[in-house]
Structure formats: structure tokens, C-alpha cells
């Protein structure tokens, strides 16, 4: 890394968790930012947040321990909101929605992955904005009538970024690393986590 990157701004990155959250929705961004933190600790901290802290059971059975509750979490500069089956419950959880709304009002960037876009919408952060979500949920998001739904691996509109389904959160997170700390740092992280997708099979799910 070059000397020009040594005095860049530090950012707190909070990743929201809730029961039945999709594992890779948060695991992808976690890997990107946690690798950066491990290699360049002066650039960021990354931590998980759930309503009460403690154990969260994910959509496919993985159990994780959230670092903070809503009350104990440090102020985020970046808030990442994943999706999963649990988002259908959490859109009706006023504590979760208020946390997202408050965090989105203070954060430099609020981001969603997959169907986490529905939580951002419920918090009022997508009103009139362009946004994307998981391919199978795009019509559902469009039907709400508040969002300009578009296709894209990730979509940026002001200080809100939405990513498409599941693995798209990795791409979005690498984009954010490049936006905050420059393309050289993003390439360093991409190489470090060896993220160069070359799937052995292709389908036509989005064609």
C-alpha cells in the first residue's frame, strides 16, 4: 500500500442482524470489511448489531452472536441491512425500523442487501429513490409504489445503496471500499479474499 493511503478517514461499519436473516447477505459484506480491518485497522471497525444483542439464528440454521444491541452499538458511519425470511417480520418491528431510520439519518451511507431493501423502504429511506433487490422480489418492491425499482448488481442514489440478491452484497461492499478509500485499496481487498467469480454453471434466471 502507498503512503497516500495512510491517513484516510476511519469509519464504523454496522451490520444489522435479526432472526432468519440470510447468511450470505451479511456474511459477504462482513468478509470484505473485516478483511480490510484486519489488514488496515486504521481504516475501519466492523461490528454486528441486533435488537437485543446476543444469539441470532439465521435463515439456514447458522447461529451467530451479535456484538451489540441497538442501545449499545456505536454510531455507524455505514449501516448495512441484509434481507432473508426474517425481513417479513422485521418490517413490522418498530424497534428495528426506528433503528434503521435513526441510523440512516446519521450515517454517511445506508446500504441494503437482497430483500433488506424492504426494511429501508419501511423506514422511509427509499421514498422516490432508485433501488434494487433480489430478482424474485422486484415486483413486490415495485408494488409498494414508493420506490423506483431498477435492475442492477447494486444501485446508488444519494447516500443510499441497494444491492441485488445475496452474493451482490460482496460487490457492493467492494464498491464502497473503493469509494471511501480508493480503487487500490478495493483491489487489495478483492485479491485478499480471492473474489474473482467464475461459476462453473450459468443459468437464465435473470434473462
H helical segments located in 76-137? 87-90, 94-106, 117-122
Any idea which residue has 459484506 for its cell?
Answer: 29
* Per-residue exposure over 168-193, b if at least 16 CB sit within 10 Å of its own CB, e if not: bbbbbbbbbbbebbbeebbebbbeee
Q: Distances in Å between the alpha carbon of 59 and those of 36, 83, 103, 111?
A: 26, 10, 24, 20
Q: 189, 111, 120, 121: which is closest to 153 by C-alpha?
A: 111
Residue 82 near residue 21, CB atoms below 8 Å:
yes
Any idea which residue has 469509494 for its cell?
Answer: 179
89: which 3 cell numbers? 417480520
* Per-residue exposure over 61-70, b if at least 16 CB sit within 10 Å of its own CB, e if not: eeebebbbeb
Catalytic residues: 114
Q: 126, 184, 183, 181: which is closest to 155 by C-alpha?
A: 126
Amino acid at each position: 500500500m502507498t503512503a497516500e493511503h495512510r491517513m484516510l478517514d476511519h469509519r464504523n461499519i454496522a451490520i444489522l442482524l435479526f432472526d432468519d436473516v440470510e447468511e450470505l447477505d451479511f456474511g459477504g459484506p462482513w468478509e470484505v470489511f473485516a478483511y480490510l480491518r484486519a489488514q488496515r485497522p486504521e481504516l475501519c471497525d466492523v461490528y454486528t448489531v441486533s435488537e437485543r444483542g446476543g444469539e441470532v439464528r439465521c435463515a439456514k440454521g447458522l447461529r451467530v452472536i451479535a456484538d451489540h444491541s441497538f442501545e449499545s452499538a456505536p454510531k455507524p458511519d455505514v449501516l448495512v441491512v441484509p434481507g432473508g425470511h426474517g425481513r417479513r417480520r422485521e418490517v413490522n418491528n418498530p424497534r428495528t425500523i426506528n433503528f434503521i431510520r435513526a441510523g440512516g439519518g446519521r450515517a454517511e451511507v445506508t446500504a441494503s442487501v437482497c430483500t433488506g431493501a424492504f426494511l429501508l423502504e419501511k423506514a422511509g429511506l427509499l421514498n422516490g429513490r432508485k433501488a434494487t433487490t433480489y430478482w424474485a422480489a422486484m415486483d413486490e418492491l415495485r408494488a409498494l409504489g414508493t420506490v423506483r425499482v431498477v435492475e442492477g448488481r447494486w444501485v446508488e442514489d444519494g447516500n443510499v445503496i441497494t444491492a441485488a440478491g445475496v452474493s451482490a452484497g460482496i460487490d457492493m461492499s467492494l464498491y464502497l471500499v473503493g469509494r471511501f478509500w480508493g480503487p487500490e485499496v478495493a483491489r487489495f481487498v478483492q485479491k485478499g479474499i480471492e473474489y474473482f467469480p467464475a461459476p462453473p454453471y450459468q443459468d437464465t434466471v435473470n434473462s
